[in-house]
Copies of this chain bind each other. A is one copy, B any other.
Amino acid sequence: MTQKIPVGVLGATGAVGQRFIQLLADHPWFEVAELLASDRSAGKSYREACVWRLATPLPERVASMTVRGPEDALSAPIQFSGLDSSVAGELEARLAARGHAVVSNARNHRMADDVPLLIPEVNPDHLDALAVQRKRTGAGYVVTNPNCSVIGLAMALAPLDRAFGLESAAVVTLQALSGAGYPGVASLDVADNVIPYIGGGEEEKIEAEPRKILGRFAAGAFTPADFTLSASVHRVAVSDGHTMAIFARLRSKASAADAKRALAGFRGEPQDKELPSAPRAPIHVLDAPDRPQPRLDRDREGGMAVSVGRVREDGLFQLKLEALVHNTIRGAAGAAILNAELLRERGLLP
């Protein structure tokens, strides 16, 4: 590749925006060329506009770039969106209409009829919806990645669904602080505490999105998968890494060993095509009885692998397991970047 593809980052000063900039710093295909944030930041250098809160240094090249505002015209073909949902809906639609490929982490368009809710290992065929969408927009498109918990959940369920048929699942989440953005959760609220609630319709998203993801796109329309989900969510005092306790009822019988084999062997297009951000193994199956753990496992394969452990048989459902996903990498910015890599690989960029 002789020249990198210029990309923009929407919502560049926020928590997800910062992750985009961190993960794109040495990307082999993409290069940050434009930053967009709110009017409060527009016109400032990124260094001034942003309080960088990641543990790696703010890349110098990006630090000196000037931040644009919501009304400014953009030119990069790919626009990564870490926008807040209060503004993402309209702004992303406008950019799609102007011909950009908007690769978004925001929730606004995820469930739309012609928008892929994409996990490249799981449902790359959902990209067929882009032909429908482009007819509507007349130009560009929006591609979304799932909610930060849902990515881990859907990746853990996909191999089980393929191999054994998923009938229903219950999931209880223990979600990290970074999932709430910044400033997000007040420290007093989680000091020596757990909050059994997350706003913004978190449980509803977790119950709905996996059915679209594991469903089919055919004949111009999405058909959701036929299983029932129930979710109960919690915020815990962990910086990064969403832990999930999953109970799964399957249509055909699977021992714990069967399930572990299906999970560990799971591979998809990102692995076949060796996309730059693809983990070698999307799912790491851990045998130690007390894993996965956020601090020890969230950074596997640069935060792009989902860890699964404690796969065991269950008398009520059929299987129980724990899953862990790095919520701001595989669960947000890294997910969108992998989506963009797949778009390029498939020749779908504008």
Query: In the assembled complex, which residues on chain B have CB atoms less than 8 Å from the CB atom of A297?
Result: 55
> How many A residues are at the interface, by size bracket?
35 or more
Number of copies: 4
Tell me the smallest distance from the CB of A289 to a CB of chain B, in Å: 6
Query: In the assembled complex, which residues on chain B have CB atoms less than 8 Å from the CB atom of A159?
Result: none
Task: Check A168 for interface membership: any CB of B closer than 8 A.
Answer: yes
B230–A295 CB distance below 8 A: no
Q: Nearest chain-B residue to A233 (Cβ)? A: B245
Tell me the smallest distance from the CB of A15 to a CB of chain B, in Å: 8
Interface code A180-210, partner B: CB below 8 Å = 1, 0 otherwise?
Answer: 0011111111111111110000000001000
Q: List A291-311 residues whose CB lies under 8 Å from chain B.
A: 291-300, 309-310
A53–B296 CB distance below 8 A: yes
Interface code A226-246, partner B: CB below 8 Å = 1, 0 otherwise?
Answer: 001110101011110001010
In whole angstroms, how far apart are the Cα atoms of A57 and B238 in the complex? 21
Task: Check A121 for interface membership: any CB of B closer than 8 A.
Answer: no
Q: List A237-289 residues whose CB lies under 8 Å from chain B.
A: 237-239, 243, 245, 247, 289
Task: Check A316 for interface membership: any CB of B closer than 8 A.
Answer: yes
Query: In the assembled complex, which residues on chain B have CB atoms less than 8 Å from the CB atom of A57?
Result: 300
Query: In the assembled complex, which residues on chain B have CB atoms less than 8 Å from the CB atom of A109?
Result: none
Tell me the smallest distance from the CB of A247 to a CB of chain B, in Å: 6
Task: Check A29 for interface membership: any CB of B closer than 8 A.
Answer: no
Tell me the smallest distance from the CB of A246 to a CB of chain B, in Å: 8
Task: Check A132 for interface membership: any CB of B closer than 8 A.
Answer: no
A196–B322 CB distance below 8 A: yes
> Which of A35-43, A90-98, A171-179 faces chain B?
A171-179
A174–B174 CB distance below 8 A: yes
Q: List A75-116 residues whose CB lies under 8 Å from chain B.
A: none
B236–A174 CB distance below 8 A: yes
Query: In the assembled complex, which residues on chain B have CB atoms less than 8 Å from the CB atom of A172?
Result: 172, 232, 245
A interface list, Cβ under 8 A from B = 15, 53-57, 168, 170, 172, 174, 177-178, 182-197, 207, 228-230, 232, 234, 236-239, 243, 245, 247, 289-300, 309-310, 314-317, 320, 322
Q: List 7 A-B contacts (CB under 8 A).
A: A15-B188, A53-B189, A192-B192, A196-B290, A232-B247, A232-B320, A236-B236
Closest 6 pairs (CB-CB, A-B): A183-B186, A230-B316, A197-B290, A172-B172, A192-B192, A193-B295
